[in-house]
Structure 1
Amino acid sequence: MELTLTTPALLFPAISLLLLAYTNRFLALASLIRNLKNQYSENQNPNLLGQISNIRKRILQVRNMQACGIMGFLICVLSMWLLYNNQQRIAEYAFGLSLMLLMISLLISFRETQISVEALEIELSDLEESILENKKEK
């Protein structure tokens, strides 16, 4: 397979959208953390501790997937530069490494989504407990 300058360039729109999605996840988590902090300071609900633990895991996942995505993007640019300087073999390895980093980033994103679902399950169980308690009181 011959790697041309346009092949790595095809990843630019995808990587940009991917990093934008990761940034949106980060901003959503930051907002959620601020809300949970306010909720915990108001009522000291012990169920919030499970949410906080879950968010801590998610923040680490978002950091890691952003890091892998950024490194993949950087190495993709490096492969283009190497192609421009007629270093075909090194450029091919660099491009392969950038693809590998992007795959790792996507796998971490998948795991973060699973952790996010666990957080929603914690929230639903808290809601179910509240509903059952309200029914018992009536």
Structure 2
Amino acid sequence: MELTTPALLFPAISLLLLAYTNRFLSLAQVIRQLHASEDRQAPVVRRQIPGLKRRIVLIQYMQGFGVLSFLLCALSMFALFIHGQTPGKVLFGTSILALAVSLVLSLVEVLISTNALAVVVEDLEQPGV
């Protein structure tokens, strides 16, 4: 395996971490707006709180596994740089696994997010509201 193989993941992981940070910032803004809102005890808001809590935890783990993937990728490159083929391959494989876990967590977070939107749409469909 060449040094350039794990180097190909660097830009992808960096962009992924940026996307995760944007998801976190958007979620933080939603939570702060709900906290400042006068109708935060409304049923539609109450129905979203469990999902918001799950999303906070998921984003934390998404970012953690993304950073772990980035770190392992860097260590893989270092191992390959010093001609450690076996450690480099193992670290690269572990990096890819951490990236896969991060992506699966991202998918779960997106599904929870879309469920929250469905709750809002359902509330909008209520007559007389």
After TM superposition, the score normalised by the length of structure 1 is 0.89
C-alpha distance in 1, partners of 2:46/2:71?
Answer: 37
Partner amino acid, structure 1, of 2:128: E
Alpha-carbon displacement from aligned partner over 1:82-123 (angstroms, at most 9, x marks no partner): 111111111101100000110111111111110001000111
C-alpha distance in 1, partners of 2:113/2:80?
Answer: 40
Partner amino acid, structure 1, of 2:33: N
Please list every run of at least 4 consecutive aligned residues from structure 1 whose deviation after the TM superposition is greater than 3 angstroms: none
Does structure 1 residue 22 correspond to structure 2 residue 20?
A: yes
Does structure 1 residue 10 correspond to structure 2 residue 5?
A: no
State the Cα distance separating 1:27 from its structure 2 match. Answer: 0.2
The question of whether the paired residues in 2 share the 8 Å contact of 1:64 and 1:105 is answered with yes
Report % sequence identity: 48
C-alpha distance in 1, partners of 2:112/2:23?
Answer: 13
Q: Unmatched 5+ residue regions in structure 2? A: none
C-alpha distance in 1, partners of 2:35/2:50?
Answer: 13
> Paired residue for 2:78?
81
Partner amino acid, structure 2, of 1:4: E
Partner amino acid, structure 2, of 1:100: L
* Root mean square deviation of aligned Cα: 1.0
Q: How many equivalent residue pairs?
A: 128
- Structure 1 residues 90-109: aligned runs within 5 Å: 90-109=87-106
- Please give the secondary structure, in 1, of the residue aligned with 2:128: helix
